[in-house]
Amino acid sequence: MIPLEHILLVSSAIFGIGVLGIMMADSVLRFLIAVEVLLNASALGFIGCALSYGDMQGYVMFFMILVVASAEVSIGLVILFCCHRWFKTVDLSSIKRLYE
């Protein structure tokens, strides 16, 4: 039996890593990876709470997070494609400089 606080602490630690990844991202790809980490952290938290309270809402939310993650990856890769076509790079700082 794993205490809920342990699950939520791991989940929040992964969430923190995701936030750090977003702030340190230097390319669009790394940004997308960090967003995926964030979504995974929230999914783990939802499952922990669902198991703790015996509620099915957490399971449904897990599936919704999967759908959002899949849609986000497809849109994110199109944005990556656009960046590569228009700016000839996927580095965020270069894109920012070129945009200015």
Partner 1 sequence: MALLAFIMAISLRDIFYALLCFVVGFIMISLSLYILSAPMLAAVQAIVYAGAIMVLFAFSVMLWAPSSRKNMISSREMVLALLVTVTLSFELCHTIIKNIHRYQENSPSIAEIAQAVFNEHGLLFELSSFVLLGALFASVITVKTILHKERSFRDSKP
Interaction site with partner 1 (CB under 8 A): 1-5, 7-10, 12-21, 23-24, 26-27, 29-30, 32-34, 36-37, 40, 43-44, 47-48, 51-54, 56-57, 59-60, 62-64, 66-75, 77-78, 80-82, 84-85, 89-94
What is the C-alpha separation between 32 and 37, in angstroms, rounded? Answer: 9
CB 86 to partner 1: min, Å: 8
Backbone angles phi, psi at 2, to 5 degrees: -95, 125
Burial class of residue 48 in the structure, from the number of CB atoms within 10 Å of its CB (0-12 exposed, 13-18 middle, 19+ buried): buried
